[in-house]
């Protein structure tokens, strides 16, 4: 099976994120592979181990992308980075356009992605790539069974109070949900291989796209304002002794906090 996995590098949960301006965030340089994308890589690797073939990890990003090396360290054969100065400011639809442009001539059987990225939680890129390629897609799968000769797949989704089993013909795109598998911990031999791996880089011209197809100029969704979470209000110490302190606390809860 020819399997492509769409991966995204997102800020580490421990990274310090500050609002720099209305439309710009300052993110500490700590990144990791989006959790759901690792589940997608694992799913691809399991299918490759069963049916043979190849897993390629693919991303659109101008930064150094450890998520691609992570994919190789887990067992993917190839890594491709679509990179071009013009992609800065892209919205999820532009990212999907670039990914689809890369994939459209490739002989893929299956495309996998995380159900959403752990930074913007948008969940758009996967389905948008499928739409652009004109292939079926199912979101948030927790089970997958492939009938390789028939090129058919049964996927399981969790729905209200139960599960839903869908059959889909290949090629198709699925986004992966927690519960599908537990991503493997890379063996150090593969980590070494990933450290030295050549990442194939592709620019927009090679995809037949121009700067008007991606980036902020083509973005249909634009960030208006980033707002930091409200700061914790100062602590108010009640200095009176019992029972005055209780009376005062009740008064404050009722009149200031307005929670009783």
Partner 1 sequence: MALDFTLGEEQDFFRQTVRDTVNRLIMPRVVELDEKEEFPWDLWKEFAALGYLGLRHEEKYGGMATDTISQMIFYEELARGSCGFAMSVIMQILMGTYFVARFGNEEIKQRILVPAIKGEKIGTICFTEDQSGSDLGGTRTLAAKVDGGWRINGRKQWITNGPIAEFCTVMATVDPKLGLKGLNFYLVERKTDKRDGFVSGQKLHKLGSRCSVTGELVFDNVFVPDENFLGEEVGKGVQYAGEILNEVRVMTAMNALAISKGAMDDAKEYAKNRIAFGNPISKYQLIREKFAKYWAWYEASWNYAYKCAWMIQNKIPCSNECMMAKYHATEMCMYAVEEAMRIYGGNAFCSEYPPQRYWRDAKFLLYGGGTHEVLCDYLGRMFCKD
Of 192 and 250, nearer to partner 1 (C-beta) is 192
Choosing from 64, 150, 200, 247, the residue that interacts with partner 1 (CB under 8 A) is: 64
Of 222 and 239, nearer to partner 1 (C-beta) is 239
**Interface region with partner 1, contact rule CB under 8 A, candidates 61-69, 99-107, 160-168, 249-257:** 61-69
Choosing from 159, 189, 227, 259, the residue that interacts with partner 1 (CB under 8 A) is: 189
**Interface region with partner 1, contact rule CB under 8 A, candidates 48-56, 82-90, 97-105, 187-195:** 187-195
Instruction: Verify binding: residue 246, partner 1, rule CB under 8 A.
Output: no
Helix or strand (DSSP H, E) at 82: strand 78-82
Residue in the structure block whose two tokens are 């700061």: 231
Q: Find the binding residues for partner 1 in span 205-234 (CB under 8 A).
A: 234
CA angle 244, 248, 253 (to 5 degrees): 150
Instruction: Verify binding: residue 36, partner 1, rule CB under 8 A.
Output: no
Least Cβ distance, residue 207 to partner 1 (angstroms): 25
Q: What DSSP string describes 117-153?
A: -TTT----HHHHHHHHHT--EEEEEEEEEEETTTTEE
Instruction: Verify binding: residue 8, partner 1, rule CB under 8 A.
Output: no
Q: Is the peptide bond before 243 cis (omega within 30 degrees of 0)?
A: yes
The Cα 74–Cα 55 span in angstroms is: 10
The Cα 93–Cα 258 span in angstroms is: 44
Q: If we measure between CA atoms, which residue out of 86, 69, 9 comes closest to residue 97? A: 86
Q: Find the binding residues for partner 1 in span 67-86 (CB under 8 A).
A: 69-70, 73
Asked if 140 and 115 count as a contact pair (C-beta separation under 8 A), the reply is yes
Tell me, by CB under 8 A, how many residues bind partner 1: 19
Instruction: Verify binding: residue 201, partner 1, rule CB under 8 A.
Output: no
The Cα 159–Cα 167 span in angstroms is: 16
Choosing from 196, 222, 231, 258, the residue that interacts with partner 1 (CB under 8 A) is: 196
Residues that bind partner 1 (CB under 8 A): 32, 64, 66, 69-70, 73, 185-189, 191-192, 194-196, 234-235, 237
């Amino acid at each position: 099976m020819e399997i492509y996995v769409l991966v995204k590098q997102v800020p580490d949960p421990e990274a310090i994120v500050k609002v720099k301006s209305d439309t710009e965030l300052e993110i500490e340089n700590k990144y990791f592979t989006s959790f759901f994308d690792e589940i997608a890589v694992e799913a691809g690797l399991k299918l490759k181990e069963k049916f043979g073939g190849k897993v390629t990890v693919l991303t659109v990003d101008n930064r150094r992308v450890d998520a691609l090396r992570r994919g190789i360290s887990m067992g993917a054969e190839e890594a491709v980075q679509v990179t071009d100065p013009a992609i800065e400011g892209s919205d999820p639809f532009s990212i999907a356009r670039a990914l689809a442009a890369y994939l459209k001539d490739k002989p893929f059987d299956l495309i996998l992605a995380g159900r959403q990225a752990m930074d913007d939680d948008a969940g758009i890129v996967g389905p948008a790539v499928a739409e652009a390629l004109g292939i079926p897609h199912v979101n948030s799968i927790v089970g997958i069974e492939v009938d390789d000769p028939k090129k058919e797949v049964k996927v399981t989704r969790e729905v209200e109070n139960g599960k839903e089993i869908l059959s889909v013909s290949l090629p198709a795109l699925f986004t992966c949900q927690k519960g599908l598998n537990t991503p493997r911990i890379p063996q150090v031999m593969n980590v070494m291989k990933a450290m030295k791996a050549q990442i194939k880089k592709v620019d927009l011209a090679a995809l037949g796209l121009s700067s008007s197809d991606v980036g902020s100029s083509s973005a249909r969704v634009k960030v208006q304002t980033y707002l930091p979470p409200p700061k914790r209000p100062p602590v108010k110490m009640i200095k009176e002794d019992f029972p005055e302190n209780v009376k005062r606390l009740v008064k404050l809860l009722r009149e200031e906090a307005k929670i009783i």
